[in-house]
Amino acid sequence: MEEATSSIEAIEAEAEKTLEEARSKANEILLKANEESNKILSSELPMDEVKMKCEQIIHEAREEADKKGEDSKKKASEIRTNIGRKVEKITGRIVNTITGAELR
């Protein structure tokens, strides 16, 4: 039973780590986009062009961050789904060990 609990905890930790990495990457992307937009704003380009370029960069960064977030949520969901399967297998082993019976 301890093995099942530790396996579940490890899987949940992996899912949380994946989500945190995605959040971190999204924040990095947005930070770089803001830095790029500030750099453009400080240059001597016509303001209309600068504003359009800034909006484009921020839009692209948000799209990429959203995509990475969705990918991470999907991966975390898959990990959680696998938890159920692993718990079922472990439970079967425990029952089989205790009773000597085979679960199917």
Q: What is the pLDDT of residues 39-89, one digit of tens each?
A: 877 776 677 877 888 899 999 999 998 888 888 888 888 888 888 888 888
Element (H, E) at 96: helix 47-99
- Hey, where are the domains in the chain? 2-99
Gap between the Cα atoms of 73 and 22, Å rounded = 9
pLDDT at 1: 64
Alpha carbon 60 to its chain's center? 19
Is the separation of the CB atoms in 80 and 15 below 8 Å?
yes
User: What's the rounded Cα separation, in Å, for the pair 88 and 4?
Assistant: 9
Residue 58's CB is within 10 A of a number of other CB atoms, namely 15
Residue 45: predicted pLDDT: 64
